[in-house]
Structure 1
Amino acid sequence: MADVRAAERVAGRPGAAGTPAAPRRARRITRTRLVEAAFLAPAVVYLALFFGYPVVKNVVMGFQEYGASTFYTGEAPWVGLDNYAAVLSSAVFDRALLNTVLFTAGSIAGQFVLGLAIAVFFRRRFPLSGFLRSLILLPWLIPMIAATAVWRWILDTDHGVLNRLLGLLPLVEVRPDWLTSTTLALVAVIGVNIWLGIPFNMTILYGGLQEIPDELYEAGALDGATGWRAFRHITWPVLRPVVTVVLVLGVVYTLKVLDVILGLTNGGPANSTQTIATLSYEVSFRQFDFGQGAALGNVLVLLSLAFAVVYLRMNRRAVDE
């Protein structure tokens, strides 16, 4: 009888199986999951409406004859791959693809190298370093339209500040046509985009440099790793994950740059600064062929995904080795 009573007392304690404690725990877990779902639902709805739907709609439009009349009739006949065949075989596409590659490669190289150099420079603490860093962020804060307007004035052939300064130099009589020459326009646009992208690269890389412990440099100095050796064997390996983020995001952002080119050259002269992004804009909103414009946009998305996948795999292989 004593054993039976002891068993009954144990069974009656809170938390034992079959007591009200188990349902309360289940209700608490359910309530926690409902709260988590409630916080997550707005983000999911936002992503579905403003990211998922536009992407799916653009992909579908790339296979439709979607023109200005579609907004009135609601009819968009299915044309399959005709839009892609039309844009890929156009006389401008080859030039736009080459310009896209040159513009992206030049911009990323200039932004990353200068941003990294500035970030390494500001890693050394000195008076007014914080103030100077804030000044470097100005190109990132200026509205794009205002920035391109100022640069159009700076690069103007006859009245631009740059050509006036060049005219003050001895033995310099030439006035380059920065924005109207078919050979210099793309170089000028790349230079302006580098100026705009340096703050982003510098900020992200500077944050990564701040996470590197000083003890690593002190230990490396004992083994003779100073200066360039310290950068090669300590800074660069530790900074590699941050570099991956900067380069991937930089390429994705640069491939779709539109406002800088439209504000400076509008894709000219003679399509010398025409990229796939500006060509998609022209086909969509000037020729009002939204189907072919969507096809060009999808080509741009595929280029971005291809670069991201290839670079991430190469970086992972380098880390494993």
Structure 2
Amino acid sequence: MEAYLILEDGTIFQGEALEAGYFCHGEVVFNTSMTGYQEILTDPSYCGQIVVLTYPLIGNYGINEEDREAPRPQVLGLVVREACLEPSNWRAQETLASYLKRYRIPVIQGVDTRALTRHLRTRGTMRGILTSGQVDWEEVKRLVRQTPPLSGDKLVPAVTNSQPYVLGEGSPRIAVYNLGVKQSILEWFIKQGCSVTVFPAHSTAEDILAIQPDGVLLSNGPGDPKDVPYGVETVKGLLGKVPILGICLGHQILALALGGDTFKLHFGHRGGNHPVKDLTTGRVYITSQNHGYAVAAGSLPSEEVYVSHINLNDDTVEGLRHRYLPVFSVQYHPEAGPGPRDSEYIFREFLELISNKGCRKG
């Protein structure tokens, strides 16, 4: 059945629906990764979004139980050039089509994703509607313009947990402030022998400090950090009391808690090949990224905080550090889910900071 992606500027892209009758409305974004579609589909940071994958063939190695970042898909819809219906891989347990059909996630294939990506790069990220079958064009165009975009006050509660829970046994004790954490982040710390307590996004600093954590991880998550003011207040209450590492949305919320500001990027950074320079060492790392907002470098209080990493594509802030407190953060994803493992050293540095009782050099 014919299917359509209608953007808020009136542009229409036609394709074929893998399953008829599904409809969704969300922010349309593109990801340039060549592999890792399962991790992308299940990444909580994509909650509220329709994802365009630029690689032309998606689904060729199927879906399995091990590579997911959440128990179910987090995207609202998927746009591809070609969806592979017969995967070939020894780890495959089902097809991309059957997996998304089970969760009623709309998929449109046969779209000129190159043209769509160029359009989003030029015009910027925008809202869109995925629909199929008979379409009332005037009504759909009215809906896509009038329906407000999903914001963080709805997105973060949709991907966090309702009650704290503990994973793993050992030391150190890591508290994860869950704004939409990826499973592979939790698994990395568990494999290092850590005890991980995952706290809901509505938790206060007092809730987190009550377990006497050795360190706090501020997780990734969806949406605008300014839509999560309670998160900023929680982080303010943690500053100076425990070592802190922020990732992605956690990085942005940390910047706001430190007195900085954030802004929306024209079309965001989403892919597995973004070059980031560590300004401390001069080394360049290829990173996995997924965000639509960034920290404004000039807004940070320079007497207390400095930029530690920059994006070599557009010079945006990719990391920050506090000059005196055991606090630092990165905009990208060190756990590499999906993507290169260049930046796992960030996690190891966090554990070293904890083992040194929060003391850091410089």
Query: What is the TM-score when the length of structure 1 is the normalising length?
Result: 0.23
Rg (Cα) greater in structure: 1
The structure with the greater share of residues assigned to strand is: 2
